[in-house]
Amino acid sequence: MKIEPKLATGFRDYLPDEARTRENMLGKIKEQFALAGFAPLETPGLEKEEVLTGGDPNFKKQLFRAGLPGMAEKLALRFDLTVPLARVVAAYASEMQKPFKRYQIGQVWRGERPQAGRFREFMQCDADIVGAPGVLADAEIVNLIYRVMQALGFRNFLIRLNDRKLLNGLAVYAGFPVKKMPQVLRAIDKLDKLGWGEVKKELADKSGAALGQASLEAIKRFLEIEKDNKAATLAELKKLFAGSDEAQKGADELLEIMKALKALGVPDKFWTLDLSVARGLDYYTGAVFETVLPEALSLGSVMSGGRYDGLIGRFGSVSIPATGVSVGLDRLFAAMKSLNMAGDGASAGVMVLNFDETATETCLTLLSDIRDTGVPAEIYLGAEKTLKGQLAYALKRNCPIAVIIGGEEMKKKMAQVKDLRRRDQKAVPIAEVPAYIQVLLQQ
């Protein structure tokens, strides 16, 4: 019986050219995380189900559950890297110095409907600061977003910033019950995708918040506040939400973050106040942020996060402040492809051709010498015996350089070094080939 080699819905393969581009992206992201003082952390892909759900019977995320027949312990695949971090901090609280800055890169799984740039298995790259209560930590996270996007080559992106404390003042300002806040926040978080007309319908619907006309008009006025002058916007919001101490604190926090971003050198054009940003998860307690690409808005946010001071307290008696961001690598990769930024996945390796048995040992020695200089290299291992055929293989592999040693080259103790990018070729003494290749690759 033959099995059709078909992928499961919502999953995907990355062949070498794409995988190489993704590895390059990961290298740049890790570099920025490390430059900002974040240390690596690893946790299992499987967690106890109650850890992931927080014991909430109404938990909304569609988990991939796992286990063996007869196993009593309920396990599930992690849906993000934040909840496992919270578990680790609570479990090792006594031996963990705070503030604790960690980054983690790993696969996560969500049983959601697949769509453009969104899969059921995807890689997240998270950076979080645990144990820092001040908004300076939030500003550091926004600064990190800016630096990661710059390092990846994006020059047109926007970090949209808001504060959940500010949003929590909506109930007082717009005159609706506080218990309806979750439905209200979920609805306004869709503003950029659906527009006010659809958001208004959702807010008015009985299955949603079921708000009255006065409340709807108040929310609309709130969302339409002019945001070109950020300081003026915050001043206007403080007046608007005069009846909410929590909202006042949220506005003050945003003002502090704004001052810190200026001091950190984050240009104004790369971030803005966006009063519709609420973030869907209910554990956010302060600043929240999303990063979008104006040229690829349909992909949604490519880097997002916020402050979640209450989450770690679910695992113990002590509440520990935390803030962080998550990079959706697969969505960013999809964006780079759609914007023709992903490159051609060219190999960085040198191909040593192997078409003459009398030169094989010399080729192997040279192969080792090239690798010793830190340059990736391989020798042709296939069935093709002709020089022309092996060169064609190297070209298809996008190798930048091919080394040719046959009988004639052996007699002269020379090698032909062919630059496949420029179609240039030069005879070089075999002993000098590794150094010459380094020079070529630097050009």
Residues 361 and 389 in one domain: yes
- Contact partners, residue 215, CB within 8 Å, separation at least 6: 174, 175, 176, 203
Question: Tens digit of pLDDT for each residue in 189-231?
Answer: 888 888 899 989 988 887 677 888 988 998 888 888 866 788 8
Examine residue 414 and state whether it is found in any structural domain, yes or no: yes
Residues 136 and 268 in one domain: yes
Q: Give the C-alpha separation, 340 to 358, whole Å.
A: 45
Examine residue 317 and state whether it is found in any structural domain, yes or no: yes
Helix-then-strand count for the chain, H and E: 16, 16
- Contact partners, residue 407, CB within 8 Å, separation at least 6: 356, 358, 359
- Pick the last residue of a domain from 309, 338, 367: 338
- pLDDT class of 119 with cuts at 50, 70, 90: confident
Q: Give the C-alpha separation, 129 to 143, whole Å.
A: 13
C-beta neighbour count of 411 within 10 angstroms: 8
Q: Give the C-alpha separation, 278 to 170, whole Å.
A: 12
Examine residue 407 and state whether it is found in any structural domain, yes or no: yes
pLDDT greater at residue 264 or residue 334: 264
Residues 322 and 277 in one domain: yes
Most confidently modeled of 84-93, 143-152, 171-180, 294-303?
Answer: 143-152
pLDDT greater at residue 190 or residue 38: 38
Domain count, the chain: 2
Examine residue 401 and state whether it is found in any structural domain, yes or no: yes
- pLDDT class of 278 with cuts at 50, 70, 90: confident
Question: Tens digit of pLDDT for each residue in 325-361?
Answer: 999 898 899 888 888 887 655 566 899 999 999 999 9
pLDDT greater at residue 150 or residue 227: 150
Closest Cα to residue 270, out of 108, 384, 158, 425? 158
Examine residue 206 and state whether it is found in any structural domain, yes or no: no
Query: CATH number of the domain that 48 lies in?
Result: 3.30.930.10
Residues 334 and 356 in one domain: no
Residues 136 and 263 in one domain: yes
Quick one: pLDDT at residue 340? 85
The pLDDT mean for the chain works out to 90
Quick one: pLDDT at residue 222? 87
Examine residue 196 and state whether it is found in any structural domain, yes or no: no
Q: What is the pTM of this model?
A: 0.86
Q: Give the C-alpha separation, 160 to 193, whole Å.
A: 14
DSSP secondary structure letters along 389-434? HHHHHHHHTT-SEEEE--HHHHHHTEEEEEETTTTEEEEEEGGGHH
Q: Give the C-alpha separation, 240 to 223, whole Å.
A: 12
Task: Give the structural domain span for 26.
Answer: 16-168+244-338
Residues 255 and 150 in one domain: yes
How many angstroms from the chain centroid is the CA of residue 409? Answer: 49
Q: How far is CA 4 from CA 7, 13, 15, 120, 360, in A?
A: 9, 15, 18, 21, 40
Q: How far is CA 54 from CA 58, 93, 119, in A?
A: 10, 19, 24
What tokens were used for 420?
A: 């496949």
Q: Give the C-alpha separation, 257 to 263, whole Å.
A: 10
- pLDDT class of 117 with cuts at 50, 70, 90: low
Residues, the chain: 443
Residues 92 and 149 in one domain: yes
Q: Give the C-alpha separation, 61 to 253, whole Å.
A: 30
Residues 418 and 364 in one domain: yes
Query: CATH number of the domain that 426 lies in?
Result: 3.40.50.800
The 8-class DSSP code of residue 64 comes to -
Q: What order of strands is seen across the sheet that includes strand 39-40?
A: 39-40, 100-109, 121-130, 322-328, 303-307, 287-292, 158-163, 271-273
Residue 162 has pLDDT above 80, yes or no: yes
Q: Give the C-alpha separation, 144 to 323, whole Å.
A: 12
Residues 156 and 269 in one domain: yes
- pLDDT class of 379 with cuts at 50, 70, 90: very high
- Contact partners, residue 105, CB within 8 Å, separation at least 6: 26, 29, 30, 123, 124, 125, 126, 329
Question: Poorest-confidence range of 10-24, 159-173, 272-286, 404-418?
Answer: 272-286
- pLDDT class of 311 with cuts at 50, 70, 90: confident
Q: Give the C-alpha separation, 374 to 372, whole Å.
A: 5
Residues 252 and 382 in one domain: no
Q: Give the C-alpha separation, 295 to 344, whole Å.
A: 21
Closest Cα to residue 181, out of 169, 190, 193, 191? 169
Quick one: pLDDT at residue 330? 86
Examine residue 228 and state whether it is found in any structural domain, yes or no: no
Q: What order of strands is seen across the sheet that includes strand 75-77?
A: 46-48, 75-77, 65-66
Residues 262 and 311 in one domain: yes
Quick one: pLDDT at residue 369? 96
Omega cis (within 30) before 99: yes
- Pick the last residue of a domain from 318, 338, 358: 338
- pLDDT class of 116 with cuts at 50, 70, 90: low
- Pick the last residue of a domain from 313, 338, 363: 338
Quick one: pLDDT at residue 60? 67
Examine residue 234 and state whether it is found in any structural domain, yes or no: no
Residues 326 and 354 in one domain: no
375 burial level (CB within 10 Å; 0-12, 13-18, 19+):
middle
Closest Cα to residue 253, out of 99, 100, 139, 132? 139
